[in-house]
Amino acid sequence: MNYLKMSKVRHVLGISGGKDSAALAIYMKNTYPDLDIEYYTSDTGKELDETYKLIDNLEVYLGKKIIRLAGAENSPELPFDHFLKMYGGFLPSSNSRWCTKKLKLDPFEKFVGNDPVISYVGIRGDEDREGYISKKNNIQSIFPFRRNIWSEDVISKVLSNNNINKVIEIFNTLEENEKSIRFNEVLLTPLSLSYGLHQKLNQLLDLSVKDFNKIVFTFIQSTEYPLAKESSFPLVDNDDVLIRSDIFRILETSGVGVPEYYKEVEFEVNGKKGTYARSRSGCFFCFYQQKIEWVWLYEQHRELFLKAMEYERDGYTWIQDEPLSELIKPERIQRIKEDYIKRTLKKNKSQSHYLLDILADAEGEGCASCFI
């Protein structure tokens, strides 16, 4: 008897409060109702009300509790404030992101412990980023919205030149079809300086996502990855690719709704009209937000902006070299808005007409745990 196969693998999905992870939860419930997924969220205590509302709506839709994880559980203070005190008022920044570690990653790793875990991550098919991959080898990430559902480390192993024979052996057990000859050729082609990993991966996926997934899943059976403990995995047959417009559609048609802060608000500056919104979930004072988003916060959620200002002391600021008290000077706000309109117009000429695409320029930056 294979005792390994008997260990229970946990399936988990983190809800950041952003649109993509919310849509992923809805998608997984509808597409794979038999997967027993544990939904969780890591609360910093500093999200916008719209984010908490999204999580409540989602909980109703899923018909399942979304487990609230928090760093510093026993502290009388909100998690962010607890750790800020511990760090002596040193505000986090993109170079020193203690907040993500203390408020998101550590509580998550504590939550899963040493159990074998499949973690579903909502990176979309139109994004070019990897997301959080745990260093702990009991946690395996899967990306259902992408054509390639596997994480980079898995792909590197499967397609490594050392494993070509093993992979061909697995491939030979699959049913033949009209693409088999070409598939075999691509599998046999070794990686080299002129033939990279992603090129090979994309060629295989172009030929057949499902065959590629079957090979990877079978390969994984002889490894230590959590999926080795499962005798089947329904996402092997998944060749869906979901992009930004699909995410909005899923949120709207499910009735869960798109968080209010994504909705465009009009503004006028020197006779010119523009629209602004917030591009992501996360703490209201997040240092990843763009200057136009800070202006949005100042004008649309004044009380939160003032709270963010209160955190700036002893020379620590959210934006390098620009305290928030400077950013809200009327001439500075005017400048930020004008620059933003200019950028929007430029972008509109070259690419997308959607404000969200422009704001989302910076979406790829930052932490997957907070914004997906």
The site for ligand SF4 (CB under 6 A) is made up of 44, 92, 97, 99-100, 103, 282-283, 286, 288, 367, 370
| Residue (23 or 103) nearer to ligand SF4, CB | 103
Which residues lie closer than 8 Å to 205 by C-beta, 6 or more apart?
Answer: 147, 148, 212
| Residue (100 or 344) nearer to ligand SF4, CB | 100
| Residue (274 or 282) nearer to ligand SF4, CB | 282
| Residue (39 or 83) nearer to ligand SF4, CB | 83
Shortest gap between Cβ of 281 and ligand SF4 (angstroms)?
Answer: 7
Shortest gap between Cβ of 90 and ligand SF4 (angstroms)?
Answer: 13
**83: exposed, middle or buried (C-beta count within 10 Å: 0-12, 13-18, 19+)?**
buried
| Residue (167 or 297) nearer to ligand SF4, CB | 297
Shortest gap between Cβ of 119 and ligand SF4 (angstroms)?
Answer: 18
Instruction: Fill in the amino acid letter for 233.
Output: F
- In this chain, which residue has its C-beta nearest to ligand SF4? 282
Shortest gap between Cβ of 193 and ligand SF4 (angstroms)?
Answer: 37
Shortest gap between Cβ of 316 and ligand SF4 (angstroms)?
Answer: 13
Shortest gap between Cβ of 372 and ligand SF4 (angstroms)?
Answer: 11
The rounded distance, in Å, linking the Cα atoms of 170 and 109 is: 33
| Residue (21 or 100) nearer to ligand SF4, CB | 100
Shortest gap between Cβ of 138 and ligand SF4 (angstroms)?
Answer: 24
Shortest gap between Cβ of 362 and ligand SF4 (angstroms)?
Answer: 12
Shortest gap between Cβ of 318 and ligand SF4 (angstroms)?
Answer: 9
| Residue (203 or 300) nearer to ligand SF4, CB | 300
